[in-house]
Copies of this chain bind each other. A is one copy, B any other.
Amino acid sequence: MLSIGEFARYARVSVRMLRHYDSLGLLVPVRVDATTGYRYYSAEQLTRLNRLVALKELGFTLDQVGTVLSGDVGAEQLRGMLTLRRAQIVEQIDADQARLSEIEARLRTIEKEGTMSELEYVEKSLPAVRLAQLTDDVGSQPELGMKVGPLFDRVADRLVAAGLKPDNPAYAWYEESESGIHFGAGFPVTAESVDGVEVVDLQPYDRGLTVLHHGTMETIGDTWQALVTEVERRGLTFGGPGREVYLETPMESQEHWVTELQQPLG
Give chain A's interface residues, CB within 8 Å of chain B: 2, 10-12, 42-44, 46-47, 50-51, 53-54, 57-59, 75, 78-79, 82-83, 85-86, 89-90, 92-93, 96-97, 99-100, 102-104, 106-107, 110, 114-116, 120, 122, 124-125, 212, 214, 247-248, 256, 258, 260
With A43-B248, A47-B214, A115-B75 in contact, is A58–B103 under 8 Å at CB?
A: yes
A78→B46 contact, CB < 8 A: no
Residues of B within 8 A of A104 (CB): 86
A10→B247 contact, CB < 8 A: yes
Stoichiometry, copies per complex: 2
Expressed in whole angstroms, the Cα–Cα distance for A89 and B100 within the complex equals 7
Expressed in whole angstroms, the Cα–Cα distance for A10 and B246 within the complex equals 12
With A46-B212, A53-B122, A78-B116 in contact, is A89–B107 under 8 Å at CB?
A: no
Further 14 A-B residue pairs, CB within 8 A, beyond A47-B214, A79-B107, A93-B96: A2-B247, A11-B122, A42-B258, A46-B247, A51-B120, A54-B122, A57-B102, A58-B99, A59-B99, A75-B114, A82-B103, A82-B106, A86-B103, A89-B100
B110→A78 contact, CB < 8 A: yes
B57→A99 contact, CB < 8 A: yes
A122→B247 contact, CB < 8 A: no
Residues of B within 8 A of A110 (CB): 75, 78-79, 82
Residues of B within 8 A of A247 (CB): 2, 10, 43, 46
Residues of B within 8 A of A116 (CB): 75, 78
B214→A44 contact, CB < 8 A: yes
User: Which of B86, B107, B124 interacts with A100 by CB under 8 Å?
Assistant: B86
Expressed in whole angstroms, the Cα–Cα distance for A236 and B104 within the complex equals 32
Expressed in whole angstroms, the Cα–Cα distance for A144 and B260 within the complex equals 80
Residues of B within 8 A of A103 (CB): 58, 82, 85-86, 89
